[in-house]
Amino acid sequence: MWILCLLLLCALCAVLVVLDACRKINLIHWLAVTPYLLVAPNAALWGYWLYTHALRALLPEQRVVFLVAAGIFVFYWWIHLLVFPWRDGEKTGARLKIMIGGRTVIHLALWGLVLECVFLAAGTPLFLRAGVPKEVLAGNAVYGVGLLAFLLATGILRIFFTSRRLSILRRALMLLVMWIPVVNLVVLLLCCRTVYDEYDFACYKRDLRLTRVDSDLCRTRYPLVMVHGVLFRDLKYFNYWGRIPKELTRYGARVYYGNQDAVGTVEDNARDIRNKIREIQEETGCEKVNIIAHSKGGLDARYLITTLGMEDRVASLTTINTPHRGCRFVDYACKMPQGLYRFIANRVDNTFRRMGEVHPDFYTAVRQFTTASSREFNECTPDSPKVYYQSYASKMKTLFGDSLLCVPYCIIRLLEGPNDGLVSVHSAPWGDYRGLFVSKNRRGISHGDIIDLKREDYKGFDVVDTYVQIVGELKNKGF
Between residues 133 and 299, the one the model is more confident about: 299
- Is the pLDDT score of 54 beyond 60? no
SS3 (DSSP) at 212: coil
- According to DSSP, residue 50 is labeled I
The whole-model pTM stands at: 0.78
Burial class (CB in 10 A: 0-12, 13-18, 19+), 452: buried
Residue 243 to residue 137: CA distance in whole angstroms: 56
What would the pLDDT profile of 223-269 be if each residue is shown by its tens digit?
Answer: 999 999 888 887 766 788 989 999 999 898 999 999 898 888 999 99
Q: How far, rounded to the nearest angstrom, does the alpha carbon of residue 87 sit from its chain's CA centroid?
A: 22
- Is the pLDDT score of 148 beyond 80? yes
pLDDT of residue 208: 80
DSSP assignments along 279-335, one per residue? HHHHHH--S-EEEEEETHHHHHHHHHHHTTT-TTTEEEEEEES--TT--HHHHHHTT
C-alpha distance from residue 301 to each of 185, 264, 347 (Å): 51, 13, 27
pLDDT of residue 380: 92
Highest mean pLDDT among 368-382, 430-444, 454-468: 368-382
Residue 190: which H helix or E strand, with range?
Answer: helix 183-211
The dihedrals phi and psi of 296, each to the nearest 5 degrees, come to -60, -25
Cα 92-401-300 angle, rounded to 5 deg: 90
Strand partners, 461: 458
- Is the pLDDT score of 289 beyond 90? yes
* Cβ contacts of 390 within 8 Å, gap of 6 or more: 316, 317, 318, 319, 431, 432, 433, 434
- According to DSSP, residue 143 is labeled H
pLDDT of residue 39: 76
Q: How far, rounded to the nearest angstrom, does the alpha carbon of residue 34 sit from its chain's CA centroid?
A: 33
Residue 122: which H helix or E strand, with range?
Answer: helix 94-129
pLDDT-derived band at 13, boundaries 50, 70, 90: low
pLDDT of residue 472: 92
Residue 201: which H helix or E strand, with range?
Answer: helix 183-211
Adjacency order of strands within the sheet including 314-320 = 255-257, 224-227, 289-294, 314-320, 388-394, 432-437
200 near 457, Cβ under 8 Å?
A: no
Strands 224-227 and 255-257: parallel
What would the pLDDT profile of 184-197 be if each residue is shown by its tens digit?
Answer: 899 999 999 988 88
**Domains with residue ranges and CATH for the chain:** 12-209 (no CATH), 219-476 (3.40.50.1820)
Mean pLDDT of 41-48: 72
**Other CB atoms closer than 10 Å to residue 319's CB: what's the count?**
28
pLDDT of residue 57: 56
Tally of CA atoms within 13 A in the half-sphere of 299 that contains its CB: 31
pLDDT-derived band at 387, boundaries 50, 70, 90: very high
- Is the pLDDT score of 12 beyond 70? no
Question: Buried b vs exposed e over 154-167: b needs ≥16 C-beta within 10 Å?
Answer: bbbebbbebbebbe
pLDDT of residue 58: 59
DSSP assignments along 213-270, one per residue? TT--TT--SS-EEEE--TT----SSS-TTTTHHHHHHHTT--EEE----SS--HHHHH
Lowest mean pLDDT among 48-57, 111-120, 323-332, 442-451: 48-57
- Is the pLDDT score of 64 beyond 90? no
106: left (phi over 0), alpha (psi -120 to 50) or beta: alpha
* Cβ contacts of 48 within 8 Å, gap of 6 or more: 132, 136
Strand partners, 224: 255, 290
**Other CB atoms closer than 10 Å to residue 407's CB: what's the count?**
11
Nearest to 78 by CA among 34, 116, 40: 40
Residue 301 to residue 388: CA distance in whole angstroms: 12
DSSP assignments along 60-106, one per residue? HHHHHHHHHHHHHHHHHHHHHHHH----------HHHHHHHHHHHHH
pLDDT of residue 202: 84
Q: Which long-range contacts (CB under 8 A, 24 or more apart) does 194-197 make?
A: 194/163, 194/165, 194/166, 194/170, 195/99, 195/100, 195/102, 195/103, 195/159, 195/163, 195/165, 195/166, 196/100, 196/103, 197/165, 197/459
